[in-house]
Amino acid sequence: MAKKIGVRELKNRASSVVQEVREQMAEYVVTVHEHPVAVIRPYTDQDAQGDRRRARVQALAGMKRLAQEVGSRWVASQSAVDLIDEQRR
């Protein structure tokens, strides 16, 4: 079960709280005026996997936007594929 910690106490004990999370896999619920506002917990392999997936999705979306922009400004009479094929000959 997660321990509760007020934001002021967290400010004073941040290093020891992080150490406890890292070494003992502790979880904390951060409160402001007794109301939960955040959770501090260990960063897991599943978190890392999700971050990598989100980064790939963002990169692909950026490439798609760039491809659409290039396509909308393309003025050559031949397609990019035809021009590349021509250069390879």
Q: Which position has the token pair 């980064």?
A: 55
What pTM was computed for the model?
0.65
Between CA 12 and CA 20, with CA 15 as vertex, the angle to 5 degrees is 115
Helix ranges restricted to H, 74-89: 80-88
The phi, psi pair for 40, rounded to 5°, reads -110, 125
20 neighbors 9 (Cβ within 8 angstroms): no
Mean confidence (pLDDT) of the chain: 94
Q: Are residues 34 and 53 in the same domain?
A: no
Question: How far apart, in whole angstroms, are the C-alpha atoms of residue 39 and residue 15?
Answer: 16
Q: How far apart are CA 56 and CA 27, in angstroms?
A: 29
Q: 89 in a domain, yes or no? A: no
- What residue numbers bound the domain in which 74 lies? 45-84
**Does residue 18 lie within any of the structural domains?**
yes
Q: pLDDT by residue (tens digit) across 40-81?
A: 999 999 999 999 999 999 999 999 999 999 888 878 778 878
Number of domains in the chain: 2
